[in-house]
Structure 1
């Protein structure tokens, strides 16, 4: 087997036609101690054995060294590139970790805001329902008062007609006291009902205004809740991306 020894940087290479063996300085010393006949040199390349005088062996070794240096250069470049990519990925992972923590905190805050808005919305819906029921009840009362007023007016008109008929038939100037008292009572009751009717109208207007305010507030709360949920979904998608 033809064997030669070369030195690339601090590593010794023992090359044969079948295999290449790589050793550092300690390995070279150990081989020299065990095999004194093997010549390992850190100087110029020297062929060993019967091929010492061959002219093609140094050229072949030179080509091997050239190839090894090229391969070492390529491997070093790829190693540096991989280290750079690894550093970038590590930095990105740390940044995403911080962003995820911020997103979780923001989500927690938004959840609390949404919960508060939902509670306010529930209260407003309850108030709106109550106001609507009161409005319906007031309208029913108003309708009842209007019917009662109409009925009392009919009774009052009937008394007036009876009084007029009585005067025409009797020819007496003095009006019947009983009829007069009944008419006055009816008129007083009608007046009182008219006042209650006006109060009911004012109450209905007030309830209608409250209902309008509640509807507006409900709309604002719903829109705010929708906006917060949309922002939350957008932020979650952004973090995942």
Structure 2
């Protein structure tokens, strides 16, 4: 799918992987709606790329629907490219040393990472299905979700995070199969260790230890390298229903 002149919507677009994706899609000629819980963060990126800033929580279906409505009204079309980057990283043992329970952490993590992704996917699919095809294949749009290598390599303390990202990975193929008749593709990217707001707080010693476990290249990924893969997925019409790891060949140890 040719990105130029299409409407795109990126959740979690105010920072990290989402911001890099919004920038790259805009550089490719898309009209980009930047969605983030933080109106200020969304505005900062949108102003930089000439896009539309939208404040919305992906766990709030009404807010997500409103964001899609505004994107369609103000950018000339419902989004044909939707990238789900909104998510949270949590760490909690199933059985902490103090004997407490972490069920609330599990529910919150699944609520944002999995149910939030599903909410955006559902609203996006409905909006795209009403559009006219853009090519001879009958393509109407593409939805790219974000999982994590933790869905396969979950470490101790990542039960909630790994389960939420595993859910995102697992819904990819059935969603792609269901939406195929509408000309809508569904893909998922599972990033490894990337430079984000979370990694920015690491000490040099911790960073060095993490990077030493990355086979090649032995460094954290850059957000634009994630965004580069988003671009390639959008542009390659045969990519559908798959989860792609982008991780320097790392396989996470138990802890």
Task: Give the TM-score, by structure 2 length.
Answer: 0.20
Q: Indicate the structure (1 or 2) with the bigger Cα radius of gyration.
A: 1
Structure that is richer in helix per residue: 1
Structure that is richer in strand per residue: 2
- More contact order relative to length (CA 8 Å, sep ≥ 6): 2
